[in-house]
């Protein structure tokens, strides 16, 4: 897992070199699954990924779908239905119904990506709005400031016969500082991404700068 700002900067870096990408978002979950709504991952043209939406064969299938989208230059919403039987068949220990939105991004989306980065650098929240119509043949990707649109919850998903929309609130995660590299610190570090915390070891970050950030936490 990488910091949210670094994640969006990675998208910008790829698009600046004319390398299209796919942003994968879990938009709906019913039942048990490794990660919940809002988990996000970036799929690059060579099939490599940044971050995770849960790992395992489920993530592999999402990446394979994303590769097709990159070739066809399109976005899509994919359904993965995993009951106890099918989950076991593909090597997963949990089952459920998961919708993954695979948003195709290219250079024309750079202004929206830059807006997201600028807001994060200023310590502001933003909302990603993805709307679709015409039987999911047309997808529109927009970054909104908090003032443009307010959300009661972290995300909102609606779909109907004519189209639909997904909204998700993004903000820079608070930082936890880990002192020492012992067994306890290593295990704590594994838990932090799922708890929506960034973590930093003093020798790997700009310690003085990080401690001055308003949203940081220290342990």
Mean pLDDT, consecutive 10-residue segments, the chain of 219 residues?
87 97 94 82 95 85 96 94 56 71 97 95 90 92 79 86 91 77 81 68 52 42
pLDDT of residue 219: 38
pLDDT of residue 176: 80
DSSP string of 100-147, one letter each residue = EEEEEE-GGGHHHHHHHHHHHHTT--EEEEEEEETTTTEEEEEEEETT
Distance from C-alpha of 59 to C-alpha of 164, rounded to nearest angstrom: 24
- pTM of the full structure: 0.77
pLDDT of residue 142: 96
The terminus-to-terminus CA distance of the chain in angstroms comes to 20
Given a contact cutoff of 8 angstroms between Cβ atoms, the answer to whether 63 and 49 are in contact is: yes
pLDDT of residue 178: 81
pLDDT of residue 201: 62
pLDDT of residue 202: 58
- Please name the residues in contact with 32: beta carbons below 8 A apart, sequence gap of 6 or more: 94, 95, 96
Distance from C-alpha of 37 to C-alpha of 44, rounded to nearest angstrom: 21
């Amino acid at each position: 897992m990488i910091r949210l700002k670094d994640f969006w900067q990675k998208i910008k870096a790829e698009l600046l070199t004319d390398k299209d990408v796919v942003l994968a978002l879990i938009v709906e979950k019913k039942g048990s699954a490794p990660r919940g709504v809002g988990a996000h991952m970036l799929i690059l043209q060579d099939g490599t990924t940044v971050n995770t939406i849960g790992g395992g064969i489920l993530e592999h299938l999402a990446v394979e779908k994303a590769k097709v989208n990159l070739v066809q230059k399109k976005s899509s919403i994919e359904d993965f239905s995993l009951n106890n039987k099918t989950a076991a068949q593909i090597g997963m220990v949990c089952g459920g119904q998961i919708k993954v939105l695979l948003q195709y991004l290219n250079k024309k989306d750079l202004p929206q990506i830059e807006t997201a980065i600028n807001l994060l650098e200023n310590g502001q929240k933003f909302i990603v709005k993805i709307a679709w119509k015409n039987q999911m043949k047309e997808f529109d990707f927009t970054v909104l400031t908090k003032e443009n649109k307010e959300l009661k919850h972290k995300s909102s998903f609606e779909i109907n016969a004519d189209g639909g929309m997904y909204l998700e609130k993004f903000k820079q995660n608070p930082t936890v500082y880990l002192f020492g590299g012992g067994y306890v610190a290593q295990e704590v570090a594994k838990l932090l991404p799922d708890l929506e915390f960034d973590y930093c070891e003093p020798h790997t970050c700009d310690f003085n700068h990080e401690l001055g950030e308003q949203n940081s936490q220290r342990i």
